Amino acid sequence: MRPNGMPGFEELQKPLPWYSPRSWYFGLVSLFLGTAGQLSDGIKTGYRHGFDSGMIMNYVYKNSPRGRFFIGRKLDEAFLDQITCRAWRAVKEIQKNMILSYLAERAGRGTFIADLASGDAGYLYDVLRQTGPEVRVHLRDVSETALAGSGRTARRLGLTDRVSFGRGDALDTESLRAVPERPDLVIEAGLYGIIHDDALIRGHFSQLKDILNPDALLFNVQTRNPQIELIARVLRNQDGERCVWHLRPVEQVIGWAEEAGFRDPKVTFDPYGIYAVVMMRN
């Protein structure tokens, strides 16, 4: 255990011994969520797409409890009220406000934003609806389902002339090269916590600098989470494996970005102290 009482990343990667009371507890929680929990639309979405996917994040963002029967809706309410879900919604608003502040600085100049792990990108559509045609967005994600849903949103809102799409992994070099033009702002939200390899993230900042060379970079870092062990022991990720998230000090990730040439970090924490949202300049 770390001094803050939360298990470290290496500990979370190891299975608990069968005789551990914690193993029995998490086993019962897993059984409940895999059976009765499926009456909740949110929990069902997490099991279908992964609790680290853009699909579940967008479900949490909407914060509209749904489920089968009365019990399903109540379970969904309880799910959406978890501290991790509340933190996600707070982070969404922080990121949206940071982007709007950045756009205000640009005072109407043409701005091209690339979100490299976008999911459905609901909060970016909020930004587009508050700005003019000078702001355009390119959305990339590994999930075809998320991109298809985002495309439907763009058509419904009449924003297809301001939004483009591409399928790809944010950490893949060729995917970075496929971004259609140099972005003014690059966004990587909710990405680093699901990447286990420190060296991969550290090297990725250099790739961002060398290949895309954006004017600004927006990302978030999960620094602590009282539910981190429950998430790792009970929930599943997009690959069907245990959903082990990597907590890191925000100073460490900022240091890697500074090594690559980004500077002037502006940091805002969500009200629960789980995520740090960071804007840096080139």
Q: What is the pLDDT of residue 107?
A: 87
Same domain, 36 and 174: no
Same domain, 60 and 160: no
Domain-embedded: residue 97: yes
Same domain, 162 and 78: no
For residue 78, give its domain range. Answer: 18-83
| Residue 192 DSSP symbol | G
Domain-embedded: residue 100: yes
Number of structural domains (the chain) is 2
Same domain, 70 and 198: no
Same domain, 175 and 214: yes
Same domain, 72 and 92: no
Same domain, 197 and 158: yes
Same domain, 89 and 78: no
Give percent helix, percent strand, percent coil of the chain, each to the nearest 5: 50, 15, 35
pLDDT under 50: residue ranges of the chain: 1, 3
What is the dihedral sign for C-alpha 38, 43, 44, 46?
negative
Domain-embedded: residue 8: no
Q: What is the pLDDT of residue 1?
A: 45
Domain-embedded: residue 270: yes
Same domain, 38 and 145: no
Q: What is the pLDDT of residue 259?
A: 94
Query: Taking each helix axis from N to C terminus, what angle separates 198-207 and 250-260, rounded to the nearest 10 degrees?
Result: 40
Specify whether the CB–CB gap between 94 and 102 falls below 8 A.
no
Pairing assessment for the beta strands 275-281 and 216-222 based on DSSP bridges: antiparallel
